[in-house]
Structure 1
Amino acid sequence: MKKILIIQVILFCNLFALTISQNVVKNANTVLLEIQKENISNVKLTFHTQNIDFFKNKFKKNTYSALLPISYYQKKDNYRVIISYLENNKKVFKGLNLKVVDGKYKSEVINVSKKKLKPNPSRVARTKKEYAEAIKIYKSKTNKILWDEEFIYPLNSKITSNFGTKRVYNGMLKSYHSGTDFRAKNGTPIIASNSGIVKIAQNRFYSGNSIVIDHGFGVYSCYFHLSLMNYKVGDFIKKGEILGLSGSTGRVTGPHLHFSFRINGIQVDPLNAIEVLNSLKKQ
């Protein structure tokens, strides 16, 4: 797993440092920003349409951290990230440059009859309801870190489909692969990437039996197509515990684990997210 490079961009002698994990970022990746300073409050950032609160990093003294997820569909361009905080009852502003570049994800070109692209009315209501319920959860935030150790992969097996692969139907981008698929025959134990609270434990049309874990501060890990779920909504699960067994439930062609991440409501590359999250603990 490659290391996240922390770039220090501002440093003052009065114990103030503002750092950013990278100032050139691929779409669907996550950026970590940190401020090390005493006696400040209400630390926030603004990027494009996102407004994100920093959180007190329990792993580092006098440090506030923020996770900035970049959408898969974010325009490739140069941006300005604005950071603000209160100090001595005065609002202070700082700015950083951030360039979003193309992640160069692979494409799958599929040519099918237009009739096959037409939605089936019988399942539209169900999928819309399930999507709305999930998005409401992903956009909510538990305002504390629920984990103490580094994130891990949910199983040790071959990756069969990478995150971000474009699905181009009849020359038009219709979707992309929203997670990382791991090879897993039916009944393979799947473990929690880290500790948190189960927010979804439900059979859904596309993702089948699904477990979603809230790790705190807008971070969610997702485990889809399970044959068995060992936890219910509201349960606290610890890192490494078996949350269920792999399967082929939902809209799939065979058994595997679909593993994905949401940060502040935005779908991101889960393997990159794990690298960034684990850097929260590194000095």
Structure 2
Amino acid sequence: MRIGDIKLKNSMRYIKILTLVVALCLFIASSAFAAVSLAYPQKAGLGEPFMVRVTSNKNLDSVSVKWLGVTVQPEIRKWKGKSVALVMFGTDVLADKAGKKELFINVVEDGKERKFSRKIRIFNKKYKVQRLTLPEKMVTPPKEELERIRKDRVEVKAAKETQSEKRMWFVPFLRPTKGAQSSPYGARRILNGKPKNPHRGLDFRGAKGTAIYAMEDGKVLLVKNHYYAGNSIYLDHGNGVVTMYFHLSQFDVKEGDMVERGQTIGRIGSTGRVTGPHLHMSVSVQGRLVDPRFVLEKNTDKLLGL
């Protein structure tokens, strides 16, 4: 065989190899371009909220995400030509325990179903202990109030577990009043010497009559006087996120109203189980009460663990 023929064969072999490499690269690039992208934190503290984001360059027909037995179908939006679904989850310092928990994601993309599962490590946190002295009836309620308290709990459970389709919230949320923060989330409560449930909200100092603002756009779910929480307002912000405002002296909204972020919804008071005027604010995420500081202080990327 002549040297020229050998060179020609080697050249042809090189072209074939190069063609295969280019084709493989194009296939990988095409697959990456069409892939579903998932963002979520690897770990979160007990009581902390976090976010899960599903992104695709294709059309997302539907997305469902399951966490701790609760399935959510987040709203799908278009952003820079991509389909994006964002959902908030969390754990409750009273109801949940530390450990590895599984996240299940089901996606229908251009008619094709895809399933994913991921692990998130929930770790324990240290919370303060608070000792408070209150009227005895607010620690051990009289028998004639027990039926009322039972009805209160039914109403509260229904409000906390509300799932509406449209997401109206963005983080960070607006601070609900001007006063300084006082009792933190997670504090273990000792009331009149008796151990009680941990504090599952955030308290703000303020004089009676001080304005309270809606933390995000939303719909007024519940306006009621409850035995422990006093005058209370519950706002639905969509996709399982509900904010709660307790111990009010005055209501400035009614059930069914649509409110805007920053709108005055009520006034600080001292109704219900209190030691003085203040606002107790809680955030419910898929029915679990989470630490409000995280939605007040962190942006989307931080809640995604990015």
Q: TM-score, normalised by structure 2?
A: 0.78
1:149-168 equivalences under 5 Å are: 151-168=173-190
Matched, 1:130 2:152: yes
The residue identity in structure 2 corresponding to 1:63 is V
Cα shift at 1:95: 2.1
Matched positions, count: 271
- Larger mean Cα displacement after TM superposition, 267-276 or 90-99: 267-276
Q: 163-172 vs 189-198, which deviates more? A: 163-172
Pair 1:254 & 2:276 matched: yes
- Out of 43, 47, 56, the residue aligned to residue 76 of structure 2 is 56
Paired amino acid for 1:46: K
Q: For residues 138 and 277 of structure 1, what CA distance do their matches in structure 2 show?
A: 23
8 Å CA contact retained: 2:172, 2:295: no
Query: Aligned partners of 2:175 and 2:138: how far apart in 1?
Result: 35
Match of 1:69 in 2: 90
Q: 2:53 aligns with which of 19, 29, 34?
A: 34
Pairing partner for 2:289 from 251, 259, 267: 267
Alignment match, 1:8? none
Report deviation, 1:209: 1.1
Instruction: Give 3-state SS (helix, strand or coil) of 2:38's partner.
Output: strand
**What is the CA–CA distance in structure 2 between the aligned matches of 1:259 and 1:111, rounded to whole Å?**
21
Q: Which residue of 2 aligns with 1:193?
A: 215
Distance 1:129 1:16 in 2: 44
Which position in structure 2 is the counterpart of 1:6? none
Counterpart-to-counterpart distance in 1, 2:213 and 2:289:
21
1:87 equivalent to 2:126? Answer no
- Distance change in 2, residues 1:110/1:149 (3 Å): closer
Preserved contact between residue 171 and residue 296 of structure 2 (Cα < 8 Å): no
Task: Tell me whether 46-55 or 153-162 shows the greater mean CA deviation.
Answer: 46-55
Q: Is the 8 A contact 2:232 2:244 kept in 1?
A: yes
Counterpart residue number, 1:7: none
Tell whether the 8 Å contact from 1:194 to 1:240 is kept in structure 2 after alignment.
yes
Q: Are the equivalent residues in 2 in contact too, given 1:31–1:276 (CA < 8 A)?
A: no
SS in 2 for 1:198: strand
For residues 103-252 of structure 1, the aligned pairs below 5 Å read: 103-108=125-130, 119-147=141-169, 151-168=173-190, 174-252=196-274
1:4 aligns with: none
TM-aligned CA distance change 1:64 to 1:51, over 3 Å: same
Deviates more, 1:125-134 or 1:145-154: 145-154
- Structure 1 unpaired stretches of 5+: 1-10
Q: 1:149 to 1:179 in 2, by over 3 A?
A: closer
Q: Judge conservation of contact 1:208–1:224 (CA < 8 Å) in 2.
A: yes
Which one has the bigger strand percentage?
A: 1
Read off the aligned partner of 2:67 and give its amino acid letter: F
RMSD: 3.1
Q: CA deviation at 1:111?
A: 11
Structure 1 pair 171–238 and aligned structure 2 pair: CA distance change class (3 A):
same
SS in 2 for 1:125: helix
Determine what percentage of the aligned residue pairs are the same residue.
29
**Structure number with larger C-alpha Rg:** 2
Q: Distance in 2 between matches of 1:220 and 1:40?
A: 26
1:228 maps to a residue whose letter is Q
Partner-residue secondary structure (3-state), 2:182: strand
